[in-house]
A = this chain, B = another copy of it.
Amino acid sequence: MSTINIQILADTLNISKSTVSKALRDSHEISKETKKKVKELAAKMNYSPNPYASSLRKKKSRTIAVVMPEIADSFFSLAINGIQSVAEKKGYHVLIYLSHEKYTNEKKILGEVRNGRVDGILISISKETKNEEPIDKILAAGVPVVFFDRELESVHTASVTTNDYECGYVAAKLLLQKGCRRLLFISHSASLPICKKREAGFRMALLDAGCPEKKGQVIYGTDNEKSNYQLIKKSLAAKQRPDAILASVEKIAIQVYIAAQELGLKIPEELKVLAFSNLETAPILNPSLTTVTQPAFEIGKSAATILFKGIEKKHFRLENERVIIPSVLIERRSTSI
């Protein structure tokens, strides 16, 4: 903790601390000579004002919070990159919180950022989250909130998402076009809006193609990679095994590859695979993976941009901002005929 403060500067120069404060922030009330003296001394003494003292008085923290389920995931790291790029330009600091997909963690986190710690919040909700109360409390406290990717639809605030329904539809359609008939959608959540939309698109594509609804055409993974692996392996080892898998997230796709490899199932000949994924390695997988690639960086960037509007413009109506940035389907070998 630096022991040098504005009072020391003032005493050293035999002026008042108000003068120092104003001089450092280029107030018109202060003469050029005084400003020069003050700034030189400040530089010499490596003085930098305590941000919390300033925050207390100004009621602005110049800090935002990013609340996410996890970080070791291509989508989320790219999204943070996008968020950070905007925050950096604006001169804001970024606090990172991980819910680890638990509602209770998320609730606790949200309780800790409701009290002036941050000027705004970007959040991608946990799988478990259904209750809007923690977020509503934040909004009630006047702190702007923007959802990115995973939203809670019942909360009236801005969101930046991608066209999940369409992507689910298009992905399933591609698999159908490639001649697959026993499609399996492996989702990482039965309740998250993004997953439900992808699932709905998937189901609709099957209906449109005249495929009868079958039970077991959608299964739900967990957060545990091993149990997902078991689940997938079991499903791929069944007599009536799927001939195509659509994975809702990259972590599941990886387990599908491993399970298929383990079982000696050839992709794409015996099993086609398509995944929602931001894996940089998709083009060099064995075989290269067809993906629905989300604009992760742009989602982060756009969400942050909207958040800053909400922070800086008092009468900006966040709840009217519902941005949808389309994902891109990139065909690769894992779905070739």
Tell me the A residues contacting B by CB distance below 8 Å. Answer: 1-3, 46, 48-53, 55-56, 59, 61, 63, 70-74, 76-78, 80-81, 84, 88, 93-98, 111-112, 114-117, 137, 140-143, 251, 254, 257-258, 261, 279-281, 283-288
Interface pairs (20), CB distance under 8 Å: A1-B141, A3-B142, A46-B137, A49-B115, A51-B116, A51-B117, A52-B55, A52-B56, A52-B61, A52-B117, A63-B95, A70-B81, A76-B77, A88-B98, A94-B97, A95-B95, A96-B96, A254-B284, A257-B284, A258-B283
Partner of A1, one of B59, B74, B77, B95: B59
Asked if A112 contacts B48 (CB within 8 A), the reply is yes
Residues of B within 8 A of A51 (CB): 112, 115-117
Q: Is the interface of A mostly helix, strand, loop or mixed?
A: mixed
Q: A2-B115, A46-B114 are in contact. List 14 more A-B contacts (CB 8 A).
A: A1-B143, A2-B116, A3-B142, A46-B140, A52-B56, A52-B116, A71-B84, A76-B77, A93-B112, A94-B95, A94-B97, A279-B281, A281-B281, A286-B286
Q: Report which of B48, B117, B254, B287 forms a contact with A280, defined as CB distance below 8 A.
A: B254
In the bound assembly, the distance between CA atoms of A198 and B258 in angstroms comes to 31
| Chain B residue contacts of A254, Cβ below 8 A | 280-281, 284
Q: Quick one: which of A71, A73, A257, A285 has the most chain B CB within 10 A?
A: A71
Set B48, B74, B279, B280: member contacting A114, Cβ < 8 A: B48
**Cα(A72)–Cα(B300), bound, Å:** 13
Contact A111 B281 (CB under 8 A): no
How many copies of the chain does the oligomer comprise?
A: 2
A284/B286 contact (C-beta < 8 A), A51-B116, A98-B84 known: yes
Question: Residue A284 contacts which of B2, B46, B258 (CB distance < 8 angstroms)?
Answer: B258
Q: B285 and A285: CB pair below 8 A?
A: yes
B72 touches A96 (CB 8 A): no
Chain B residues, Cβ within 8 Å of A287: 286
Q: Is the CB of A1 within 8 A of B116?
A: yes
User: Who on chain B is nearest to A88 by CB?
Assistant: B98
Find out whether the CB atom of A1 lies under 8 angstroms from the CB atom of B284: no
Chain B residues in 8 Å Cβ range of A280: 251, 254
Check A142–B1 contact: CB distance below 8 A: yes
Most chain B CB atoms below 10 A, which of A74, A93, A251 = A93
- State A49–B56 Cα separation when bound (angstroms): 12
Once A93-B95, A261-B284 are accepted as A-B contacts, the answer to whether A80 and B74 lie under 8 Å apart by CB is: no
Chain B minimum-CB-distance residue to A108 = B88
Return the chain B residue nearest A281 by Cβ: B281
Chain B residue at minimum C-beta to C-beta distance from A81: B72
Point out the residues of chain B lying under 8 angstroms from A116, CB to CB.
Answer: 1-2, 50-52
- The smallest beta-carbon distance between A50 and chain B, in angstroms, is 5
A255 nearest CB across to chain B (Å) = 10
